[in-house]
A and B are shown apart, each in its own frame.
Chain A
Amino acid sequence: MIIGAALILGLFVFPMWNIQLGAPQYPEPLGIDIYINGLQGQSEFDLQNIDGLNHYIGMKTLPKAEDMWEFTVFPLVTIAMSVFGILIGLIGLFKGISSNWFAFWFILMSIFGILGVYDFSQWLVDYGTDLDPNAIMKLINPDGSPMQYNPPLFGHKKLLNFDAYSYPKAGGILLWMGMMFTLIAFLLAKKSNRNNIQ
């Protein structure tokens, strides 16, 4: 439980998600590393270069950390959840505590996680669809609707000349592992409780 709760702090060191944009003229893809507290280019100038390209189709520039409340709130939630998890883990280690606390933590974290992903997907849609009406290039789909440029939440999507790939990175994997550890802790604790009762 302690390890699991500590692992989610990895979000402060490693990016949780990554979006790559490759194109014929970008054989080395441009990339966005999404950290819990802001965006960074996969290579130093990638954000600037993505913004530079996106201005042709009227997309907004990528948000700075101060532009989105998420980059302030998510770190606080993460720290709170980690401290809370370590605390119940320690109590569990020395005193014994109902394994339901572990389950509670897991469920709570899952809710936050799902909310986070939902929020992320909302942002992607907004980023890809809220376009400048004076954009240099206004492209439309065959059905006449304006073309949208939101990158995929997960996996691959073709955006004009770009191939966008969206996958979790080390921070996200650590988050997932942390949550799995707490789930295992819960199951083990439950099993040992049952054994104790027997």
Chain B
Amino acid sequence: MKNFKIGTAICAAFLMSACGNQGNSDANSNKGALTSNIAERVYIAPGERDEQYAFLSGGYSGNLNVYGLPSGRMFKEIPVFSQFPTSGYGYSEETKPMLNTSFGFIPWDDLHHPDISQTNGELDGRWIFVNGNNTPRIARISLSTFETEEIIEIPNSAGNHSSSFITENTEYVVAGTRFSVPVPQRDMPINEYKSNFKGALTFIDVEPENGHMEIKFQLMMPGFNYDLSRPGRDKSHGWFFFSTYNTEEASSLLEVNASQNDKDFIAAVNWQKIEEYVNNGGGTKMPAMFTHNVYDESTHTATSELMEEVVTVDPSEVPGAIYLLPTPKSPHGCDVDPSGQYIIGSGKLSADITVHSFDKMLAAIDAKKFDGEAYGIPILKFEEVMAGVVKSGGLGPLHTEFDGRGNAYTTFFISSEVVKWKLGSWEVVDRQPTFYSVGHLMIPGGNSRKPHGKYLVAMNKITKDRYLPTGPEMEHSAQIYDISGEKMQLLYDFPTHGEPHYAAGCDADLLVNNSKKIYRLDENKHPYAINSPADARVEREGNEVHIYMSTIRSHFTPDNIEGIKVGDKVYFHITNHEQDFDVPHGFSMIGQGTSEILVMPGQTKTSIWEPKRIGVWPFYCTDFCSALHQEMQGYVRVSPADSNLELSWSLGD
């Protein structure tokens, strides 16, 4: 009888805890009714679509990845700075120029910070800008084709990290250097860094119609490290804020030597003032070498231009345009709230978050409340600009975004958590662990006047045991939190490709109707395009052979080619004649020293092949295009270099 009673008690306890797991409120979870139905809130049933887009940077993959929220499903990897065999980006003749730099063809970069174009401080969904950190570049990606359309190299910069953030009407995309370097570059002793190296902050003008970028001016700042940056918005529109570290100007063992000053700075730059100065002929034109690569959607072809000059501005030339705001302990994030009033500096070696007030900054400037200067730039008194300190209880604050309801969310790298706090009262209202060592977080629209504050994505640096193990190297982990309630709630955990340093997101409605389905064949202006299979042909110019080829389900025209010789350079110009959504054709040739290409409907792409051996060599369609995909193939006959065989081509003979 007694045993029976104990059994019942255990059973009851078990039932109660089972209840708790199902999410009915109990003392353990302490999250109220929110815990119910977590699975339902991230579950997107087959055929249903996500509420929001998230664009997560791919870090050292050099690419940008598109995900859905709340499901965490990945939709596309957009090649930006890296060669990408999946589509042939950087391999096809048309896209090779995209990866041209003043250092030559650089097939890789480290992509960090995506930012979606804005109008009046709100996301407008035209383009997304991203930075290449290693060989300094800024790229613009179309949000109708989800393809990279433009890449501009940044001269005088090194470690293009406080980039690529845009002003609230997309007037400028801003690229700040992480490493200060000699400007112009020259052969000099490294230990003469101090006061000789410069930190270039580059303002790139964005043409409103087509998004084309042009460097307006480079502000030549003192030789600090410029870490991250944010535009002022609304009331602070016209200013830009840059966090700095290594104000010690150390050139070696920075982990110690750049961590000595109790406070570094957030640099506040009145770009409108400098813009006016430059518009009136101010600044110095200096020789510089950088490339500007533009992809034209109508010719499906990129061109690369080498630029030779840039306008630089020395801070001393525009008095009253730049101020330094002391900020404790090597601040990383420097984030501006949706109202434009607060500038949040996350001192990554401290426990607290320092918040500056834009109004107080203006008042301090007016009253000249300076605490000395650095290289002629006034340093504002810390207590005169500081609005408050968030006593977080965490360690290593990195980056902050906002929900538009008066709350801020800050990641803490060292203590591995997201902390929610209130703007104005600076009180901490919630904290949730991340898994593990979170870098940046992203709230769709969280870097705008109007955040779409339902989900928060935390991007972690360390994965450890979150997924099934895959050897020493693993994808990074991300977590999605629901932030619609008072308390944050962890919904889901998903692996991310490459290393996401930051992300941008928006409501799906902003993009879905503009997303292109096909390219129009009748608008294809590629010089080697053919509009009809009747125009398919092969032409020889010396040892260059141009094959004008078309594809449609399920054949190439032509598919038998003879008269090619060893030593020829054979260009396959392939036009996909499909005008149907999601029917690409691929092309690959045996022994080709480059990748396959994937040709979208209405598009023309070119793949080069240099045959080295005689024989009859096959090519085939790499994309499973139709039921007759396996039949979509052809042969090229390669004759000896001295052969007299005339060119001939055919289909179906």
Residues of A near any B CB (own CB < 8 A):
28, 44-45, 48-49, 52, 56, 136-137
Contact = CB atoms under 8 A, between A and B. Distances in A.
Given A45-B579, A45-B580, A52 B553 contact: yes
Interface string B551-564: 01100000000000
A49 B579 contact: yes
B628 A49 contact: no
A136 B580 contact: no
Contact of B627 (A28, A44, A56): A56
B277 to A, nearest CB: 51
B578 interface: yes
Contacts, number: 17
Nearest to B582: A25
Contacts of B628: 56, 136
Contacts of A52: 552-553, 578, 580
**How many residues of B sit at the interface, in one of the four size bands?**
under 10
A44 B579 CA distance: 9
A50 to B, nearest CB: 10
A62 to B, nearest CB: 15
Given A45-B579, A52-B553, 7 more contacts: A45-B580, A49-B580, A52-B552, A52-B578, A52-B580, A56-B628, A136-B628
A44 B552 CA distance: 18
A48 B577 CA distance: 10
17 contacts: A28-B581, A44-B579, A45-B518, A45-B579, A45-B580, A48-B579, A48-B580, A49-B579, A49-B580, A52-B552, A52-B553, A52-B578, A52-B580, A56-B627, A56-B628, A136-B628, A137-B627
Interface in B149-198: none
Q: Which 10 A-B pairs have the closest CB atoms?
A: A45-B579, A49-B580, A48-B579, A52-B553, A136-B628, A45-B580, A52-B552, A49-B579, A56-B627, A52-B580
Contacts of A28: 581
Contacts of B552: 52
Contacts of A49: 579-580
Contacts of B581: 28
A28 B517 CA distance: 12
Interface in B545-595: 552-553, 578-581
Contacts of B627: 56, 137
Nearest to B579: A45
A88 to B, nearest CB: 47
Contacts of A45: 518, 579-580
Nearest to A46: B580
A108 B473 CA distance: 81
Nearest to A53: B553
Contacts of A136: 628
- Max chain A C-beta neighbours (<10 A), residue from B553, B578, B579, B627: B579
A69 B335 CA distance: 71
Contacts of A44: 579
A23 B261 CA distance: 67
A44 B522 CA distance: 12
B76 to A, nearest CB: 19
A137 B627 CA distance: 10
A49 B517 CA distance: 14
A40 to B, nearest CB: 15
A52 B518 CA distance: 16
Contacts of B580: 45, 48-49, 52
Nearest to B580: A49
B32 to A, nearest CB: 40
Contacts of A48: 579-580
A136 B553 CA distance: 12
Nearest to B47: A27
A136 B578 CA distance: 19
A173 to B, nearest CB: 29
B391 to A, nearest CB: 54
A48 to B, nearest CB: 6
